[in-house]
A and B are shown apart, each in its own frame.
Chain A
Amino acid sequence: MKAKARIRFRLALRNLRRQRRRSILSGSAMVLAMALLIFSRTLAEGGHEDWIEAGVRLGSGHVALQHPEYQARRTLEFRLTSEKREAAEAALASSSVAGRVVATAPRLAVQGLASSPSAALPVAIVAMDPASETRFSALQEDLSEGRYLEPDDRLRALVGTGLAERLKLKLDSRFVLTAQDADGQIVGQMVRVAGVFRTGIPEVDEGFVQIPLATAQEWLAAPGAVTGIAVLLRSSHDVGSAARALRAALADESSLDVVDWRRTMPELDAAVRMDDWADYIFHIVLFVIAATAIINTVLMSVMQRTREFGVLRALGLERGQVGRLVFTEGLFLTLVSGTAGVALGAAVVWIFFRHGLDFSAFWDTEMSAAGVVIDPVIVPRFHWSQLLWSMVVMLGIGCLASVYPAWRATRVDVAEAMKFDE
């Protein structure tokens, strides 16, 4: 480091120490702001990741491979034939993708009608491979009666408690599913209730039926076909890179589309974004508090040191050098207090809330939104991008808050500054 830069840092550091009480007070505001920022970001990250994971496990995964028209039309006309399905599975097994994938679940989904002697209700019929699904879906954990589907099951179905109640179904009760098959014919299939689940999401519990994939393929005249392959990744942060890798692996397949959860579950996406925005508003308030504290300290220091800046100028410092000196003070204050804030926030989260923050005292009934059950216990999560983002924001605040005091210092009139009495 050059001697000039060294003396600038030394002057900045010692000037902050010179006004110790003020520096500590302002630094504390920054520490608190950054600690709260880390706390709220990790909490939001944990909450959102939980929502997304619950949503994608029950829905079509972090990313789904499907026919380009399927997302809009949702009919068997736009299914993946066994040939396309093989191409999709080959892409998923490719070296650039396989490492990112936790589980996959081929599914055949149609809209249909569930009828019992008591009633008939519209339902979403999702046919799945029980072996793949147990690694993917968390539905087996929500069973309130009976058992989950097994690989050998043929005419068995899982229904939600709401549907079972309205159709008056019990374990082993028979009911009929009706849907349009691949040839456009309306066809029916009788199945028996193997298990009843309760997710807490009314739309799922009242309008969702799971049956074995092989049964549906035969019933709907779509041998070997699926409407999509749901892909579960390690975290939602991997979606972008995994989708890019999949698209690259499927570059030659124009009839295979890679869609992420934001497109397949727009309500969940909206809920996450809305919650993020609420967070951002809170962060802006924090930033304003931190920036005000920094500006206050550095500006007060500049006002009190008019004579000193005059002396520096008289000794031969250029305006810009004086400005840089003040800027460095602001930046130092930001860096030291901001880093302490990030460390404090991370330590508090790690020490006290590593196993989750229980919000169940604030709501006594199950809460669901955008098709997912919101777990009252939120486990904060760190992500390197958060830390980086917090650091960048912190530096940004420090720079912005130091610009004005630095500019004020460059405007000092040397001769006027010398007139001041000590």
Chain B
Amino acid sequence: MRTNGIPAVRTERVWKVFEHDGIRVEAVRDVTFRVEPGEFVVLAGPSGSGKTTLLNLLGGLTRPTDGRVWVADTEITALPERELARLRLERLGFVFQAYNLLPVLTALENAEFTLLLQDVPADERRSRVEALFERIGIAGLEDRRPAKLSGGQQQRVAVARAVVAGPALILADEPTANLDTATSEALIDLMAELNRELGTTFVFATHDTRLMERAQRYVRLVDGAIVTDERREGWRG
């Protein structure tokens, strides 16, 4: 999917530097990077290579020390907090390693949370979530709390929460790290399918080789800098 040549997300000479007790750590170094709409991108690299930090920068969860970041045509580098929150709500979806479902809400309530923040009417919220649950194989679990779901089921609910509002870009940090092989495969299939059918852009930070193998584009970071950026021709997901 291409939209007027505007990338889903891009960075320009972006740096993220942390300083703790006088020790300076360059987590992301001079990264210029763009993801086109509909891409299925993996950020790989050893621990501490800056994958998660770059993902956080792309999602506006942290601000760059230097450089600029755009989500579609909106520069988010110095966007006010309130507008950044609105942008995350309307255009981005997040999937986390630890699922991060709200423990006091049911699966359905978790999945419909972003729709609720977007003031989508209750009937529509419910029908959209139920249709999605059916599609991703967790129908019937709507009323269960996260503690009563398996890791795979929780991550599916988290994916449902991320995609239900139809964001243009989903940022997923180690989404398969806590899952067994079969569940990981199923989840990757699901996300690839959503990418193909809905045109949703996915950017993963991962160590999971299965996910790397399935990626359309493989970006490797070492010490905060991009050292490899490969696109796979004829990729089918």
| Chain A residues proximal to chain B, CB less than 8 Å | 3-4, 7, 10-11, 14-15, 17-18, 307-308, 311-319, 413-415, 418, 421-422
Contacts and interface: CB of A to CB of B under 8 A. Distances in A.
Contact of B89 (A7, A17, A18, A315): A315
5 contacts: A4-B117, A14-B104, A15-B104, A311-B100, A316-B86
Given A7-B116, A418-B96, A418-B173, 15 more contacts: A4-B116, A4-B119, A10-B109, A11-B104, A11-B105, A17-B104, A307-B100, A314-B59, A315-B117, A316-B85, A316-B89, A317-B117, A319-B85, A414-B56, A414-B62
Interface in B94-133: 94, 96, 98, 100, 102-105, 109, 113-114, 116-117, 119, 122
A315 B94 contact: yes
B177 interface: no
Nearest to B56: A415
A314 B96 CA distance: 10
Contacts of B90: 316
A317 B113 CA distance: 10
Which secondary structure characterizes the binding site on chain B? Answer: helix
A390 B62 CA distance: 45
Interface in B154-203: 161, 173
A14 B105 contact: yes
Contacts of A315: 88-89, 94, 113-114, 117, 161
Nearest to B161: A315
Contacts of A317: 85, 89, 117
A3 B119 contact: yes
5 closest cross-chain pairs (CB), A and B: A316-B89, A14-B104, A415-B62, A318-B85, A311-B100
A19 to B, nearest CB: 10
Contacts of A11: 102, 104-105
B81 A319 contact: yes
A413 B88 CA distance: 15
Contacts of A414: 56, 61-62
Given A11-B105, A414-B62, A418-B173, A318 B81 contact: yes
Contacts of A319: 81, 85
A272 to B, nearest CB: 49
Contacts of A312: 102
Contacts of A313: 61, 85, 88
B132 to A, nearest CB: 16
B61 A415 contact: yes
A177 to B, nearest CB: 82
Interface in B40-84: 52-53, 56, 59, 61-62, 81-82
B98 A422 contact: yes
A311 B88 CA distance: 11
Nearest to B121: A3
A313 B119 CA distance: 17
B219 to A, nearest CB: 20
